[in-house]
Chains A and B, each alone.
Chain A
Amino acid sequence: MYSHVRAFNYYKRVVCLAGLLVFVGTVVHVGPHLENPLELAIFFFLIFLTELHPIRFPGTFADFSMTMPAVVGLFLSHGPSVMLLVSATSIFAANLITRRGKPIRWLLDVVSYNTADYIVSVTVASFTYTLVGGGTLAGGGAVTFSATVLPLLVWVAACTTTNMLLFTTSLSLYSREPWRMLMMQNLRWFVPNYVVTGPSGILFAYLYLKYDVYGILLVIVPFLVGRLALNQYAVQLDAYRETVTTLGVYMQHYHPYTRGHLERVAGLADEVGKRMGLPASSLMFIRDAGLLHDIGKVGVNEEILDKVGHLTDEEWAVIKQHPARGAEILSQMKYLERIVPWVRGHHERPDGRGYPDGLQNGDIPLEAAVIAVADAFDAMTGGPDETDRRIYRAPLTLDQAVAQLRYGVGTQFDPRVVRAFLRVVAREEQESGG
Chain B
Amino acid sequence: MADSFWFSPAFLAAAALTLGAVCYSYFYLPAQMRRAYRQSLLTLARAVETKDTGSEGHGERVAEYVVAVAREMRLSAKERQKMGYAAFLQDIGNVRVPHAILNKPNNLKREEFDIVKTHAVMGADMVEHVKFLRDISPIIRHHHESWDGSGYPDQLTGNAIPLGARILAVCTTYDSMVHARAYRPQLDEETAIREVRAGAGAKYDPEVVNSFLRILKRRHRN
Interface residues of A (CB under 8 A from B): 207, 210-211, 214-215, 218-219, 221-222, 225-226, 228-229, 232-233, 236-237, 239-240, 242-244, 246-248, 250-251, 254, 295, 298-303, 329, 332-335
Contacts and interface: CB of A to CB of B under 8 A. Distances in A.
A254 B126 CA distance: 12
Contacts, number: 116
Contacts of B10: 207, 210-211, 215, 218
A333 B92 CA distance: 18
A422 B17 CA distance: 49
B40 interface: yes
24 contacts: A211-B10, A218-B10, A221-B14, A225-B21, A228-B25, A229-B21, A229-B29, A232-B25, A232-B29, A236-B33, A240-B40, A242-B130, A243-B40, A243-B41, A244-B40, A246-B129, A251-B48, A254-B95, A298-B48, A299-B49, A299-B50, A299-B51, A303-B100, A334-B36
B96 interface: yes
The main secondary structure of chain A at its interface with chain B is helix
Interface of B: 5, 8, 10-11, 14, 17-18, 21-22, 24-26, 29-30, 33, 35-37, 39-44, 47-51, 92, 95-96, 98-100, 126-127, 129-133
Contact of B29 (A236, A242, A246): A236
Contact of A242 (B18, B35, B49, B132): B132
A244 B132 CA distance: 10
B95 A226 contact: no
A210 B22 CA distance: 27
Nearest to A211: B5
A251 B33 contact: no
B51 A243 contact: no
Contacts of B41: 243, 247
Nearest to A242: B131
B21 A228 contact: yes
A278 B43 CA distance: 29
Given A210-B10, A211-B8, 17 more contacts: A207-B10, A222-B18, A229-B29, A236-B29, A236-B30, A236-B33, A239-B132, A242-B130, A247-B126, A248-B44, A251-B95, A254-B96, A295-B47, A299-B47, A303-B98, A333-B36, A333-B40
Contacts of B43: 329, 332-333
A432 B65 CA distance: 56
B95 A333 contact: no
Contacts of B130: 242-243, 246-247, 250
Contacts of A302: 98-99
A380 to B, nearest CB: 26
A247 B127 contact: yes
Contacts of A332: 39-40, 42-43
Contacts of B33: 236-237, 240
A303 B100 CA distance: 8
A137 B18 CA distance: 30
A183 B18 CA distance: 36
Contacts of B49: 299
A262 to B, nearest CB: 13
Contacts of A334: 35-36, 39-40
Interface centre among A210, A221, A236 (most CB of B within 10 A): A236
A28 B132 CA distance: 57
Contact of B95 (A225, A228, A242, A298): A298
A244 B95 contact: no
Given A239-B132, A243-B132, A251-B44, A335 B36 contact: yes
Contacts of B127: 247
A315 B43 CA distance: 25
Nearest to B94: A299
Interface centre among B22, B47, B50, B126 (most CB of A within 10 A): B47
A247 B22 contact: no
- Top 3 nearest A-B pairs (CB, nearest first) are A229-B25, A334-B36, A332-B43
Nearest to B126: A250
A366 to B, nearest CB: 26
A333 B47 CA distance: 13
B76 to A, nearest CB: 20
Contacts of B95: 251, 254, 298-299
Contacts of B25: 228-229, 232-233
